[in-house]
């Protein structure tokens, strides 16, 4: 990652003096070279993406390390059973869901640079203090507080990305952003393999050091975001350096104008989210379909991710080794998800890649159920089922988020929609936490059957949404054809009326008037 240029505000040429506020208008003229745009976009990629990705990496470390802790006698040390543990996981998701929209309303008001930085500090400190829990009550309390402090980071980051990138660039950046989650999930299990060997150091269990070290790392990353993450294109300064610009004025001008040329509604940010935006977002049935798709994918994924190290242990692998083995599928999903994202962006297969991802995720649970009766001699086959499920379990959700963003009409609705779909993802954690229960282990045949049914529903919903998209595009194409026919008739009629006029033929004048009509139709549409 290259080091960001920190340019003093006010030192740029007057021609490119930055404007204040997100709703200031700029001249929509592409008056720069492709090389200048490529350099500005490359700098944006080297600043914005790594910082947001690092925050997501930390969030996933702090949220997911509990799955590794249970392989180190965590439940035994706190004297809780599996079903009580599941309730704690539900409280984590509940805390996120309840405060998701309020968190994003605050972000929308104060800016990502300040709010996302504060969030990293808050959930990093909470994660570190999990090391000191000693009872069931303290376990429930820390999970709830962790959920509250983490709420809003994901949709807030997604909304932030959508304000800096064009529509064609967004899906790939969303998937790159989710690499932070995927890499965090994989790394947490690999890091846990080493950290949990610290059991006995200072007279503490291994899970004590797991929570303490990962929480401290998150606080450190919060300091980095505070130094370099800009609030917005209208206020391109970080929380800790409010008088220093991250981009030069010309770079900022290019970055802002290219986005407005692609989607002018992004230049109409209001000071706060109004009631009309709430009505528009909550009344959109297409948004609810996307939320249901995420609910269908993420419930089985959350359940499986929590217990994947324990499931591998049930194959007769050593407990701590199971943590390292549980990282393999999560690392494999990174290149696979990039390929799916590339197909989504390159060919416009928004819904098709979601259907493919859901189908592959469903296949993984079919494998796990089919292999459940195999003996210890076939533990490699059962482990293959785990790896497959992990590889395809996570990325249908971010692909669905990118697909959903195409239906958003303005920044307010987009911000709310991001919050709502992430609320859906975390609501999935509420029901998903109870899929794998104590009376179903170690084979979890009931749990895998439930996951198969839920994912099948997700596939059906995605197919229905693809059909709806096709129907809308077909209707729009027919409408465009009708407009073209009307324009052609207008040319002939106007030309006939003006035949014999001075200053040119009637056909030429008719063509000129038809062009004016065409521009008016385009402006009104």
Asked whether 85 and 70 are in contact (CB, 8 A), the reply is: yes
pLDDT, mean of residues 278-300: 90
Bond from prior residue into 283 cis (ω within 30 degrees of 0): no
DSSP 403-414: HHHTT--SHHHH
pLDDT for the residue numbered 520 = 45
Lowest mean pLDDT among 163-172, 327-336, 478-487, 511-520: 511-520
For range 471-486, the mean pLDDT: 76
Q: How confident is the model at residue 293 (pLDDT cuts 50, 70, 90)?
A: very high
Distance (Å, rounded) from C-alpha 55 to C-alpha 253? 27
C-alpha 50/C-alpha 45 separation (Å) is: 7
Question: For 178-225, what is the HEC assignment?
Answer: HHHHHHHHHHHHHHHHHHHHHCCHHHCCHHHHHHHHHHHHHHHHHHHH
| Whole-number pLDDT of residue 500 | 53
165 with 259: CB under 8 angstroms? Answer: yes
pLDDT tens sequence across 235-254: 888 889 888 888 888 898 99
Alpha-carbon distance of 8 to 430, in angstroms, equals 47
pLDDT reported for residue 361:
98
Residue 241 to residues 35, 153, 225, 236, 439: CA-CA distances in angstroms?
29, 21, 11, 10, 54
pLDDT at 508 over 50: yes
With a cut of 70, say whether residue 332 has pLDDT above it: yes
Residue span(s) of the chain under CATH 1.20.1250.20 come to 51-265+277-474
- Here the tokens at position 85 are 């543990």
Residues whose CB falls within 8 Å of the CB of residue 443, separated by 6 or more in sequence, listed in order: 372, 373
Could you say which architecture CATH assigns to the domain 51-265+277-474? Up-down Bundle (1.20)
232 vs 256: CA distance, rounded Å: 10
- Give the pLDDT band (50/70/90) at residue 524: very low
Residue 517 in tokens:
């009509």
Confidence of residue 211 (pLDDT cuts 50, 70, 90): very high
Summarised one tens digit per residue, pLDDT across range 193-203 is 999 999 999 99
What is the residue-averaged pLDDT of the chain?
84
Q: At residue 493, does pLDDT exceed 70?
A: no
User: Residue 245 phi/psi, 5° resolution?
Assistant: -85, 140
CA dist., res. 313 & res. 196, Å (int):
15
Checking if the pLDDT of 462 tops 60, the result is yes
pLDDT of residue 21: 47
Q: What is the dihedral of CA 191, 193, 194, 195, to 10 degrees?
A: 80
Out of 114-118, 227-231, 481-485, least confident range: 481-485
Nearest by Cα to 240 from 155, 118, 108: 118
């Amino acid at each position: 990652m290259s080091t960001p240029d920190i340019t003093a505000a006010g030192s740029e040429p007057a021609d490119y003096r930055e404007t204040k506020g997100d709703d200031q208008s700029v001249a929509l003229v592409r008056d720069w070279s492709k090389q200048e745009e490529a350099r500005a976009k490359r700098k944006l990629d080297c600043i914005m993406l790594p910082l947001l990705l690092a925050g997501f990496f930390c969030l996933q470390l702090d949220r997911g390390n509990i799955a590794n802790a249970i392989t180190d006698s965590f439940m035994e040390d706190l004297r809780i059973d599996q079903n009580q543990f599941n309730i704690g996981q539900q409280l984590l998701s509940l805390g996120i869901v309840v405060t998701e929209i309020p968190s994003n309303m605050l972000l929308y008001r104060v800016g990502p640079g300040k709010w996302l930085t504060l969030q990293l500090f808050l959930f990093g400190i909470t994660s570190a203090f999990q090391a000191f829990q000693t009872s069931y009550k303290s376990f429930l309390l820390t999970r709830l507080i962790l959920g509250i402090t983490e709420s809003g980071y994901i949709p807030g980051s997604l909304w932030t990305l959508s304000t800096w990138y064009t529509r064609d660039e967004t899906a790939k950046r969303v998937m790159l952003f989710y690499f932070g989650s995927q890499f965090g999930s994989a790394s947490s299990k690999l890091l846990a393999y080493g950290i949990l060997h610290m059991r006995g150091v200072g007279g503490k269990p291994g899970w004590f050091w797991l929570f303490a070290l990962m929480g401290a790392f998150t606080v450190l990353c919060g300091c980095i975001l505070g130094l370099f993450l800009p609030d917005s294109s209208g206020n391109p300064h970080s929380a800790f350096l409010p008088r220093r610009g991250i981009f030069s004025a010309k770079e900022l001008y290019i970055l802002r104008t290219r986005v407005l040329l692609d989607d002018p509604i992004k230049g109409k940010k209001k000071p706060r989210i109004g009631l009309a935006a709430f009505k528009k977002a909550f009344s959109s049935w297409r948004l609810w379909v996307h939320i249901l798709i995420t609910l269908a994918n993420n419930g089985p994924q959350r359940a499986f991710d929590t217990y994947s190290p324990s499931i591998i242990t049930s194959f007769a692998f050593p407990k701590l080794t199971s943590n390292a083995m549980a990282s393999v599928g999560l690392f494999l999903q990174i290149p696979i998800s990039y390929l799916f994202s590339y197909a989504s962006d390159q060919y416009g297969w928004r819904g098709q890649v979601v259907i493919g991802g859901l189908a592959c995720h469903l296949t993984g649970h079919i494998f796990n159920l089919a292999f459940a009766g195999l003996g210890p001699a076939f533990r490699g086959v059962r482990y293959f089922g785990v790896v497959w499920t992990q590889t395809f379990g996570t990325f249908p959700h971010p692909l669905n988020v990118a697909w959903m963003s195409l239906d958003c009409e303005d920044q307010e609705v987009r911000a709310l929609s991001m919050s709502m779909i992430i609320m859906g993802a975390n609501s999935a954690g509420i029901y998903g936490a109870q899929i794998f229960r104590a009376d179903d282990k170690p084979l979890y045949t009931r749990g895998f059957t439930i996951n198969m049914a839920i994912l099948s529903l997700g596939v059906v919903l995605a197919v229905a949404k693809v059909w709806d998209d096709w129907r809308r595009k077909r209707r729009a194409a027919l409408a465009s054809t009708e407009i073209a026919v009307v324009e052609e008739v207008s040319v002939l009629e106007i030309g006939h009326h003006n035949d014999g006029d001075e200053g040119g033929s009637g056909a030429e004048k008719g063509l000129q008037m038809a062009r004016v009509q065409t521009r008016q139709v385009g402006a009104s549409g």
